[in-house]
A = this chain, B = another copy of it.
Amino acid sequence: MIQTTLIAEPGKQEYFMSVTFDAPRELVFKTYTDPNTIAEWWGPRRLTTTVDQMDVRKGGVWRYVQHDSKGNEYAFSGVYHESVAPERLVQTFEFEGMPGQAGLVVVTFEELPGGKTKLTEQSIFPSLAARDGVIQSGMEAGAKELFERFAELLAKLQA
């Protein structure tokens, strides 16, 4: 069982989500940035996620679409500012259902003893209201499920 930690200080337009995986950093980075694995872990189990675009390099565009059983679609997209394998990824992020609220996500991959890797996502928003709206939408439970799926995928890749 993995543990996901959310730090969202009052009054700050950012939050930090951290989780430690029992897998080496190279594998964690490679899996996190592989378009072919997104459908297996990005988002909750009840939705199907498809990758419309995902070109992990400076200026590359990413766009994921989530589909529910009723045919609704939820699209998220952004661009990569930098990809420094296996250490850091910086990208913009926008929920297309709320245009004009793009944020910045800084993902760091830190090597820990015993072949483990600590992944931290810093999400920076254009306003405190935008951050709080995302947190109140149930983001934390969603992120826990997403990282559980990611840990299962890493275990499968190492089996």
Contact = CB atoms under 8 A, between A and B. Distances in A.
A45 interface: no
A122 B94 CA distance: 17
Contacts of A24: none
Given A13-B14, A61-B58, A124-B126, A81 B94 contact: yes
Contacts of A79: 58-59, 79-81, 92
For chain A, the bracket of interface size reads 20 to 34
Contacts of A104: 92, 102-104, 124, 126
Nearest to A77: B58
Nearest to A93: B81
A88 B100 contact: yes
Contacts of A90: 92, 102
